[in-house]
Structure 1
Amino acid sequence: MILAGDIGGTNTRLALFEQSGSELCLIKTKKQASRDWQDLVGVLYDFLEDAGVGQEQIEAGCLSLAGPLQGNHCQLTNLGKTIDLEQVRKSLNLVTSLTFCNDLVALGYGLQTLECSQLYCLASGKEDQFYTNPALANRAILAPGTGLGESQIIKGKYVSPTEGAHADFAPQSELEVRLWRFLHHEFGHVSYERVLSGPGLTHLYRFFLSEVGEESNVSSALSPQEITEKALSQNCPVCRCALDLFVKILGAEAGNLALRSLALGGIYLGGGIVPKLLPQLQNETFLRAFCDKGRFKELLASIPVYVILEEQTSLFGAARIAIIQYNQKTRV
């Protein structure tokens, strides 16, 4: 039996899998708010106890974490919690060592298990490119949620984590320059994550309030979900402006990532926000910003962009990593 976990800034998801040939069979899952727990080991114990599974029954395990892994620690970037990896590993005491990875690495390995129906191609006519020769093409993932994650898939197989989301935000218009100034005044350094995330959408809403001369108060600002709902229902012009600019900047950064990775195999949009924005992503705003790269416009136009529809992709990716690590150790 395989233990997999996706420890995110908003939700903690755990799962048990069994392997049948080359297929992964999902046996049990559990989701809870990440802010509701203080001890990750306790969360794991409770999950296994609820499932009626002993630690000795777990043959392989992998937990993906929403933050950079440094030595034996991982700071969950948007949760304010630090995970002692060695302590978790020793406390769980599995048959084989528990493996840890960045959440965007798990998403990348999970991507490789998806079927066509679990992806949505934003540019018609490019749907088959995913299956043409994925073993040779670079791909990349951009995932806005509680934070912003980015990763690269080298030659279709090896997944490399990045912290590219914390690179400098590059304004592309006078409006975006004013947005940069607004965020710089509050945060100092302005990264893409300050814009392309759930909190980022709230920052955009507050920015547009300031643009029309209304008070921009952090405590009274609408939540990302409220902003999205009001924008989609056309009930709030400020929310609509915030969402439109979010989509435009998302397209621009997706294009940046495609160039940095030379991701001819495609850009994949994951995270909790993107699937809810399919109508907005299908209009010309996103793809125009994606392709607006000067002399490389035609190259960008040839790269397909997909939305990952499967919510549990990272769990399948973590399970796949656990199996890979198990196989490597048992060969030694």
Structure 2
Amino acid sequence: MPTLLTVDIGGTNCRFARFSIEKGALTLAGTARRQTADIPDTQALMDACAEALIAPGEADALVIGMAGPIAGQRRARLTNAPLELDLSDAETRYGVGACLLVNDFLAEACACLTPIGAGAFPVLGPRDAATGDGTIGIIGAGTGLGTASLVRDSRGAWLPLPAEGGHAAFPFTGKEEADFQAFAASALGLSYLRGDDVLTGRGLCLLHAFLTGERREAAEVAAQGLSRETETLRWYARFYGRACRDWALSTLCTGGLFITGGIARRNPLVMRCASFRESFYDSPQRSLLERLPVRRYADEASGLWGSAWLAARLIGALPA
């Protein structure tokens, strides 16, 4: 029975999971968590795997999802933290049989092909729509804003496509939003704002400060400003809906759009807010957008499941 080891490294948390494959299906066998700040380098990550679950050399495959661009599937640096990984000699140095380093949202995209996708909550569009052959989009905000997609290749197999849509300039409209843009850009020392600056925890803090004059930590703002009808909720939901709309149109994800990330998972009122819906459908392509199923992941282990799907495919244990 193959054993798969997966790791999901974000700017704040590092999660680990061990999977097995039983009767052609992935089975979660154990999970663990560490603070990313406690893992300074590649050796420390390998040691953390061994302490938390199993040594990488005992797994048939190791797949690591990391929040940052990947260089050649073996080297990466976190976008919002100083950790750098180098797995170029993982087979010889750590005894890993098969190894892959991917962008964390590539793993999040693959998660929709596992039980994570089946258990996602409907947000907008057809509620009973199953994942079809059309392109699938993924987007989510937390410490950073990530994007990715899945398409079918010429053989009909799913091909995950990485993206860095969170670093594109965010589209503001109207004078009030322009005032916020100037306020936040000045606070961050930037010439323009990206989705990564607007929808993440730091963006939420700046939005709340702009609207209320209160300077608070992201967790406190979310607890007070996103748990009930507030001006902060309405503005934030509008921005999130706009980002989802633009990514849905950019990918033409007729197979569905999945929303992930800690902010959406811990603050479901954002997706239920009227401002989110209005912003998502605010487009000349509204009739197209209304046909797209939009769903939200419910499980924080989604990236680990997606990495497990990639690990199983890496060793030929699951069909693509």
State whether TM-score is above 0.5.
Answer: yes
Say if 2:5 and 2:63, in contact at 8 Å, map to a contact too: yes
2:300 counterpart SS class: coil
1:130 counterpart SS class: coil
1:104 counterpart SS class: helix
Q: Which residue, 134, 139, 145 being the options, matches 1:137?
A: 134
Partner of 2:315: 326
- Post-superposition CA distance 1:267-322 (Å, at most 9, x none): 111001102222232132111100101x2121112212111101111111111111
- Name the CA distance, whole Å, in 1 between partners of 2:208 and 2:91: 42
Partner of 1:316: 305
Asked if residue 303 in structure 1 is aligned to residue 292 in structure 2, the reply is: yes
- Name the CA distance, whole Å, in 1 between partners of 2:58 and 2:33: 21
Partner of 1:272: 262
C-alpha distance 14-75 of structure 1, shift in aligned 2 (>3 A): same
Q: TM-score, normalised by structure 1?
A: 0.86
Indicate the percent of aligned positions where both proteins have the same amino acid. 25
Partner of 1:188: 191
Say if 1:62 and 1:321, in contact at 8 Å, map to a contact too: yes
C-alpha deviation, 1:89, in angstroms: 5.4
Q: Which runs of structure 2 are paired with 1:74-85 in the superposition (5 Å)?
A: 74-85=76-87
- Name the CA distance, whole Å, in 1 between partners of 2:93 and 2:274: 51
Structure 1 stretch 282-291 or stretch 200-209: which is displaced more?
200-209
Partner of 2:218: 224
- Post-superposition CA distance 1:234-271 (Å, at most 9, x none): 5xx9xx32232111011011110111111112211100
C-alpha distance 242-57 of structure 1, shift in aligned 2 (>3 A): same
Q: Which residue, 198, 202, 206 being the options, matches 1:203?
A: 206
Which amino acid letter does the alignment assign opposite residue 130 of structure 1?
A: A
- Post-superposition CA distance 1:187-221 (Å, at most 9, x none): 22311110011111112122224xxxx4x7xxxx3
Count matched residues. 308
Say if 1:40 and 1:88, in contact at 8 Å, map to a contact too: no
Partner of 1:161: 162
C-alpha deviation, 1:227, in angstroms: 0.6
C-alpha deviation, 1:56, in angstroms: 4.3
Partner of 1:34: 36
- Name the CA distance, whole Å, in 1 between partners of 2:227 and 2:66: 34
- Name the CA distance, whole Å, in 1 between partners of 2:202 and 2:87: 28
Partner of 1:98: 99
Asked if residue 248 in structure 1 is aligned to residue 238 in structure 2, the reply is: yes
1:19 counterpart SS class: strand
Say if 1:3 and 1:17, in contact at 8 Å, map to a contact too: yes
Unaligned runs of 5+ in 1: none
Which amino acid letter does the alignment assign opposite residue 263 of structure 2?
A: I
Unaligned runs of 5+ in 2: none
Say if 1:194 and 1:203, in contact at 8 Å, map to a contact too: no
- Name the CA distance, whole Å, in 1 between partners of 2:89 and 2:116: 37
- Name the CA distance, whole Å, in 2 between partners of 1:284 and 1:178: 23
Q: CA RMSD in A?
A: 2.2
Q: Which of 1 and 2 has greater Rg?
A: 1
C-alpha distance 115-34 of structure 1, shift in aligned 2 (>3 A): closer
C-alpha distance 233-247 of structure 1, shift in aligned 2 (>3 A): closer
- Name the CA distance, whole Å, in 1 between partners of 2:249 and 2:94: 42
- Name the CA distance, whole Å, in 1 between partners of 2:42 and 2:233: 35
Say if 2:16 and 2:52, in contact at 8 Å, map to a contact too: no
C-alpha distance 278-268 of structure 1, shift in aligned 2 (>3 A): same
- Name the CA distance, whole Å, in 1 between partners of 2:164 and 2:304: 21
Say if 2:47 and 2:55, in contact at 8 Å, map to a contact too: no
Say if 2:75 and 2:101, in contact at 8 Å, map to a contact too: no
Asked if residue 175 in structure 1 is aligned to residue 172 in structure 2, the reply is: no
- Name the CA distance, whole Å, in 2 between partners of 1:313 and 1:199: 23
Partner of 1:128: 128
- Name the CA distance, whole Å, in 1 between partners of 2:179 and 2:296: 30
C-alpha deviation, 1:109, in angstroms: 0.9
Say if 2:134 and 2:255, in contact at 8 Å, map to a contact too: yes
2:124 counterpart SS class: coil
